[in-house]
Chain A
């Protein structure tokens, strides 16, 4: 090819991607850059800004609550990601078997995922209300298992546990759905071949199902990490005292008068952490 042709083609290529680059730049790159810029300022509501250098960052990194919330977030992430994946996997394998009313059962499993967060959260709060709730009524008044009424959602020791449980219950259907879709496309002869080779049910799961599902599982885990590191509404509505990173960010930056500079600093750090985490995951676990 002549050099002119190559040059022209390159120019055409540039022209073709230009709109996409422009849109991404405007909608993704610009806000990120502006956010980084804001994180070095004290911003007033009327728009005036004072340059404060790294103050927003030092304030944040000097705050013991920040590290506490990082710890809480890690426990929350591990608990919910493992929980939803395992439960989703179990449910999808079960629902992949032939039985009567299978379609109905498949649909019913999705219900928690459909229900609006706000209504289910109030339902859970109602169950665990320390004075009027059903949980305490059954445990204390009916079964006499203990004399002490407990506020499982309010008590900081159990609140994190309840929040994790809630997330698993609410979000495992999406994992289940993705797994089931993939399971249905796994060729039957693979299982038959494994059976002929003398594999029992566990062996077939280990040598056929898991390898086939590997990339779907990896995708689900990746998505859950991203979602749950940023998840706000479930946790805040159910137990606002469980300070995961987004809740911490809310209290620091958005409760009361918005501290835009501080909020920007937190989100910059959170972005770095998330990018680092995903990079590590993609390279080491997925080996993409």
Chain B
């Protein structure tokens, strides 16, 4: 409580400088942060904004990221579209193509804050081919392999930063008879699977589009990646797996797993780990006590190299949606700018230290940012933090090719074409080339619409 009061007062003082909106207006804000503690923080920011702006109501609604597109469609059909949403870039690009995004508000915010203050790559990712901003980058994460450094040292294994090293280590660390697994790659039909696959595919120079926007997914490079992926999946725990299986790592039953920087606080803090272990996977199964050495024994490789070096990450952005009321639009714009104000911005990013990285230059060096309430950044130390964020410079995805964005990639993502292809190959034992052919056919259908 003390903490939140402190946060509220700093935000309040900073926020006083922001212009006042006097007319009655509503900002319904859908956020993909559905955990109750995160929602509380966002509510706090919203109330602060309300206190600063007479007559403005901010309504915070938590919506699961995988459900966001569907919920949006229902809301648009029912005429109850929210004013603002926060969601990942792929969904943003798909929504942008649907013609419901208020690009003018985005233009205005970028103008007010200053284009040069945004990280260029981040802003490009959310820009339409016609140069409109489909969303505003707010926070981003990078993904890589987190692994048991102590086990690797014991067995004399090299860091899992190349395809060969990963496979060797996965094999060496798997002992299924004793319920031990070498690695976890996603095999369920959800976005986690796509994220893991994308990083491996990018490291093999596979792509969805060429720089003209033509589909080039069905290539030898992609096929090779699928075959390699299938090999890795052999060292998975049985059956379709997704990110929830990171609990197996926290329980000490797994050697390596792909995850974003969001795992940092789970590894470092007993309280967080306990919370995430028991909330969905039942208390009795939390796998014993928290391993305080885990944070020391865990290492991270953000970059995987095969034919080229690739790190993978995604960013989440704020998206203002078209609304009939000018007051609502203005209030939304003010609220977005309030969310970019350093005090509120840092409060937001501190919900997941390391997981949420700032998209505005200068925030990361801010001493207030480096002093997170739980001391996660201190636990990791400056050097490790620097290494982790280094992957962020080389953030790549399927939707941006040589600085050009192809929104169709968002629609393909939203339809889970790639995860289903992976599921077919790894779980249903479908022939990789056949699975690739049908994925390509499906992508063409989506792009034809």
Task: Kindly state the separation between the CA atoms of A156 and B74 in the bound complex, as whole angstroms.
Answer: 31
Task: Kindly state the separation between the CA atoms of A258 and B253 in the bound complex, as whole angstroms.
Answer: 39
Contact flags (1/0) for B69-83 with A, using CB distance below 8 Å?
110111011000000
Q: Does B109 sit within 8 A of A, measured CB to CB?
A: no
Q: Does B94 sit within 8 A of A, measured CB to CB?
A: yes
Question: Closest residue of chain B to A240, judged by CB?
Answer: B189
Among B94, B238, B239, B248, max chain A CB count under 10 A is at B239
- The one of A48, A64, A156 in contact with B428, judged by C-beta atoms closer than 8 angstroms, is A156
Q: Are B99 and A45 in contact (CB under 8 A)?
A: yes
Question: With A45-B95, A154-B238 in contact, is A251–B416 under 8 Å at CB?
Answer: yes
From B261-269, B370-378, B407-415, the one touching the partner chain is B407-415
Task: Kindly state the separation between the CA atoms of A42 and B180 in the bound complex, as whole angstroms.
Answer: 49
List which A137-185 residues lie within 8 A (CB) of chain B: 147-151, 153-156
Task: Kindly state the separation between the CA atoms of A241 and B188 in the bound complex, as whole angstroms.
Answer: 8
- The one of A59, A64, A154, A258 in contact with B70, judged by C-beta atoms closer than 8 angstroms, is A258
Q: Are B414 and A149 in contact (CB under 8 A)?
A: no
Task: Kindly state the separation between the CA atoms of A169 and B253 in the bound complex, as whole angstroms.
Answer: 33
Question: Closest residue of chain B to A252, judged by CB?
Answer: B415
Task: Kindly state the separation between the CA atoms of A44 and B77 in the bound complex, as whole angstroms.
Answer: 10
Task: Kindly state the separation between the CA atoms of A240 and B280 in the bound complex, as whole angstroms.
Answer: 17
Question: With A154-B427, A257-B414 in contact, is A48–B99 under 8 Å at CB?
Answer: yes
Task: Kindly state the separation between the CA atoms of A64 and B434 in the bound complex, as whole angstroms.
Answer: 12
- The one of A241, A254, A259 in contact with B240, judged by C-beta atoms closer than 8 angstroms, is A241
- Count of A-B contacts judged by CB separation below 8 Å: 103
Question: With A45-B76, A48-B99 in contact, is A149–B238 under 8 Å at CB?
Answer: yes
Q: Are B70 and A45 in contact (CB under 8 A)?
A: no
From A16-24, A108-116, A125-133, A187-195, the one touching the partner chain is A125-133
Number of residues from A at the complex interface, CB < 8 A: 33
Q: Does A255 sit within 8 A of B, measured CB to CB?
A: yes
Task: Kindly state the separation between the CA atoms of A155 and B423 in the bound complex, as whole angstroms.
Answer: 11
Q: Are A46 and B76 in contact (CB under 8 A)?
A: yes
Question: Closest residue of chain A to B75, judged by CB?
Answer: A45
Q: Does B326 sit within 8 A of A, measured CB to CB?
A: no
Q: Are B99 and A257 in contact (CB under 8 A)?
A: no
Question: Closest residue of chain A to B191, judged by CB?
Answer: A256
Q: Are B73 and A151 in contact (CB under 8 A)?
A: no
- The one of A122, A126, A130, A147 in contact with B177, judged by C-beta atoms closer than 8 angstroms, is A147
Q: Are A59 and B445 in contact (CB under 8 A)?
A: yes
Q: Are A130 and B237 in contact (CB under 8 A)?
A: yes
From B114-122, B126-134, B281-289, B330-338, the one touching the partner chain is B281-289
- The one of B99, B253, B428 in contact with A131, judged by C-beta atoms closer than 8 angstroms, is B253
Task: Kindly state the separation between the CA atoms of A156 and B107 in the bound complex, as whole angstroms.
Answer: 48
Contact flags (1/0) for B367-408 with A, using CB distance below 8 Å?
000000000000000000000000000000000000000000
- The one of B94, B99, B237 in contact with A256, judged by C-beta atoms closer than 8 angstroms, is B94
**A261–chain B nearest beta-carbon distance, Å:** 9
Question: Closest residue of chain B to A151, judged by CB?
Answer: B239
Q: Are B69 and A258 in contact (CB under 8 A)?
A: yes
Q: Which residues of A contact B91 (CB under 8 A)?
A: 256
List which A25-60 residues lie within 8 A (CB) of chain B: 42, 44-48, 59
Enumerate the 3 nearest inter-chain pairs by beta-carbon distance, A residue then B residue, closest first: A151-B239, A154-B239, A256-B414
Given contacts A257-B95, A257-B98, 17 further A-B contacts (CB under 8 A): A44-B98, A45-B95, A45-B100, A46-B100, A126-B282, A130-B237, A148-B176, A149-B176, A149-B237, A150-B238, A154-B241, A155-B239, A255-B416, A256-B69, A256-B91, A257-B94, A258-B69
